[in-house]
C-alpha cells in the first residue's frame, strides 16, 4: 500500500478531471429525515459541489451500481427457423466517490460470491472492473455496528481511500490505476506529522462507536438457539416486505423471469433481486413452501448473514451498516435481535 496526501482543493480538481470523461456517483443530499438530519443516496453527480463527502450513511447501498434491482440478462428474437440472442455487459467506466469502509467491505463479500465462486457473474464482474472506487473515512453513525464485525476499516477493494486531516486528505492507494489517476493533480509524500494526525483520526473514529454487537460466538449461538422463541417474537412483527434485503449491501438473492412478446417473436431474460423474507421465496413447484411462516423466513435471513456465510467464507455476510434496521417499518434490527438471542441464552 502506498500513501500520499492531497489538499482538498486538489482533490476537488481530481474529481472534476474524472467528471470530464466519466460518470461519477457519490453521496448526494436527497432530503431531510425524521430526526432532522440530511438524507443521502449514492447518485450520479454533474459537479463536485453536489457531493457531500461528510455524510452519515445512505438509505440504499452502492450495491445497485454492481447488482441492479432489475437487469436484462439477454434479449432474443426468433427469425424464421433461427433465433438471435443479444447479451450486453456494462463496460462504460464509472467512478464511485465517497464509499465508506463497510460498503467497500460489502463489495469484497459480493466479489466472493459473484466474481470468484463456481458461477461468476460476467454482468457483475464487468461493472466491478469498470468502476473506480474512492473510499472515505467517517465518524460512525449512531446505530451502525460495523466495528463489531470488523468492517469499520478496509485494506483493499478500492483504488483510493481518503482520511480527512482538515485541510488535506491522507490517501491510501490500492491500485495501479489509483496511483496513475492521483498523479493528475499535485500530491505530497506523507510526513511524520501526517502519520501522527492520521493515527489520531483513526483512534477518534474507533472510539466513537456507540452501537456494539457481540459477534464472536454468533454462529455457535445461532446453532444453539435455532428453536428459540425469540424468532417468533421478532418474526411476528415482520411484514414480509423485503425492504431489508433491498437496502442491504450484501444481499444478492435474485429470481430470473422470461418476458415473451404477445406474438412470441421476441423476449427477454430478466434478473430481479429478491428477498428471503418474501412469502414465496422458498416455494417450490407443486406449491410446497419450505418457509411458510414469517419467523422462519426472518430466521433464515439471520442465519445466512451470520451462520451460513461464515461456514463458507469464514466471515459474516453482514457488515453492520444497519440499513436494514433503519428501513424496517416493524422496527426489526440486528443489534436488538442478536441481543435478544444472547439474553435468551443466559436466562432460560
Ligand atoms: S424484517 Fe422488516 S424490512 Fe425485513 S421483511 Fe420484515 S418488515 Fe420488511
Ligand atoms: S444485514 Fe443489515 S446491517 Fe447487515 S449488512 Fe445487511 S443491511 Fe447492513
Kindly tell me if the per-residue pLDDT of 215 is higher than 80: yes
Average pLDDT of the residues in 69-89: 92
Both 299 and 166 in one domain: the answer is: no
In sequence order, the β-bridge partners of residue 28 are: 41
Same domain, 122 and 178: yes
Task: Indicate whether 222 and 337 sit together in one domain.
Answer: yes
Q: What is the pLDDT of residue 276?
A: 95
- CA nearest ligand 1 atom 8, residue: 241
Q: What is the CA radius of gyration of the chain?
A: 22
Do residue 159 and residue 303 come from a single domain?
no
Q: Residue 243 class from Cβ within 10 Å (0-12 exposed, 13-18 middle, 19+ buried)?
A: middle
Q: Please, what is the end-to-end C-alpha distance for the chain in angstroms?
A: 49
pLDDT at 80: 80
Residue 169 · residue 6 · CB < 8 Å: yes
- Indicate the SS3 state at residue 259: strand
Atom of ligand 1 nearest to the CA of 243: 3
Ligand nearest to the CA of 325: 2
Q: How would you label 203-221 residue by residue, b for 16+ Cβ within 10 Å and e otherwise?
A: eebeeebebebebeebbeb
Which residues does ligand 1 sit against, CB inside 6 Å? 238-244, 277, 298, 327-330, 332
Site to substitute for ligand 2 among 324, 331, 332, 336, most atoms within 8 A of C-beta: 324
pLDDT reported for residue 346: 59
What pTM, to 2 d.p., does this model score? 0.95
**309 CB-near residues (< 8 Å, 6+ apart):** 109, 315, 316, 317
Around Cβ 39, how many Cβ atoms within 10 Å? Answer: 17
DSSP for 1-49, please give it. Answer: -EEEEEEHHHHHHHHHHHHHHSEEEEEEEEEE-TTSPEEEEEEEESSGG
Q: Would the CA dihedral through 170, 173, 178, 182 be positive or negative? A: positive
- Cα 238 to middle of ligand 1, angstroms: 5
7 and 155 inside one domain: yes
Average pLDDT over residues 118-145: 95
Identify whether 104 is part of a domain. Answer: yes
Residues with CB under 6 A from ligand 2: 247-250, 305, 318-324, 334
> Given ligand 1 and candidates 59, 230, 236, 244, which is best to mutate, with the most ligand atoms within 8 Å of its CB?
244
State which H helix or E strand residue 335 sits in. Answer: helix 334-346
* pLDDT for residue 132 is more than 60: yes
When the pLDDT of each residue in the chain is averaged and rounded to a whole number, the result is: 95
Predicted local confidence at residue 34, as pLDDT:
80
pLDDT for the residue numbered 100: 98
Residue to probe by mutation, ligand 1, list 237, 238, 303, most atoms within 8 Å of CB: 238
Q: Which domain holds residue 97?
A: 2-67+86-206
Indicate if the pLDDT at residue 347 is higher than 60: no
Total of domains in the chain: 2
> Looking at residue 195, what is its pLDDT?
98
Amino acid at each position: 500500500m502506498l500513501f500520499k496526501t492531497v489538499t482538498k482543493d486538489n482533490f476537488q480538481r481530481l474529481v472534476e478531471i474524472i467528471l470530464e470523461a466519466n460518470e461519477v456517483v457519490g453521496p448526494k443530499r436527497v432530503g431531510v429525515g425524521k430526526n432532522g438530519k440530511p438524507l443521502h443516496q449514492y447518485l450520479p453527480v454533474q459537479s463536485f459541489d453536489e457531493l457531500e463527502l461528510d455524510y452519515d450513511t445512505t438509505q440504499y447501498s452502492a450495491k445497485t451500481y454492481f447488482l441492479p434491482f432489475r437487469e436484462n440478462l439477454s434479449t432474443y428474437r426468433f427469425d424464421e427457423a433461427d433465433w438471435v440472442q443479444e447479451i450486453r455487459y456494462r463496460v462504460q467506466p464509472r467512478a464511485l466517490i465517497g464509499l465508506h469502509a463497510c460498503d467497500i467491505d460489502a463489495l469484497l463479500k459480493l466479489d466472493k460470491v459473484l466474481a470468484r465462486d463456481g458461477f461468476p457473474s460476467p454482468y457483475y464482474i464487468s461493472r466491478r472492473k469498470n468502476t473506480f472506487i474512492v473510499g472515505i473515512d467517517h465518524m460512525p453513525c449512531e446505530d451502525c455496528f460495523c466495528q463489531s464485525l470488523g468492517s469499520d476499516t478496509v485494506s483493499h477493494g478500492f483504488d483510493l481511500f481518503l482520511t480527512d486531516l482538515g485541510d488535506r486528505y491522507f490517501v491510501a492507494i490500492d491500485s495501479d490505476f489509483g496511483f496513475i489517476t492521483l498523479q493528475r493533480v499535485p500530491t505530497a509524500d506523507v510526513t511524520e506529522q501526517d502519520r501522527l494526525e492520521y493515527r489520531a483520526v483513526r483512534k477518534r473514529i474507533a472510539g466513537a462507536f456507540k452501537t456494539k454487537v457481540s459477534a464472536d460466538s454468533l454462529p455457535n449461538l445461532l446453532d444453539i438457539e435455532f428453536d428459540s422463541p425469540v424468532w417468533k417474537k421478532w418474526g411476528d412483527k415482520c411484514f414480509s416486505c423485503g425492504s431489508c434485503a433491498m437496502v442491504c449491501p450484501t444481499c444478492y438473492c435474485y429470481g430470473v423471469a422470461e418476458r415473451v412478446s404477445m406474438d412470441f417473436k421476441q423476449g427477454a431474460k430478466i434478473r430481479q433481486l429478491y428477498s428471503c423474507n418474501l412469502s414465496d421465496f422458498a416455494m417450490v413447484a407443486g406449491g410446497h413452501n419450505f418457509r411458510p411462516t414469517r419467523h422462519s423466513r426472518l430466521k433464515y435471513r439471520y442465519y445466512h448473514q451470520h451462520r451460513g456465510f461464515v461456514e463458507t467464507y469464514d466471515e459474516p455476510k453482514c457488515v453492520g451498516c444497519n440499513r436494514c434496521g433503519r428501513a424496517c417499518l416493524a422496527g426489526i434490527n440486528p443489534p436488538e435481535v442478536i441481543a435478544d438471542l444472547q439474553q435468551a441464552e443466559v436466562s432460560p
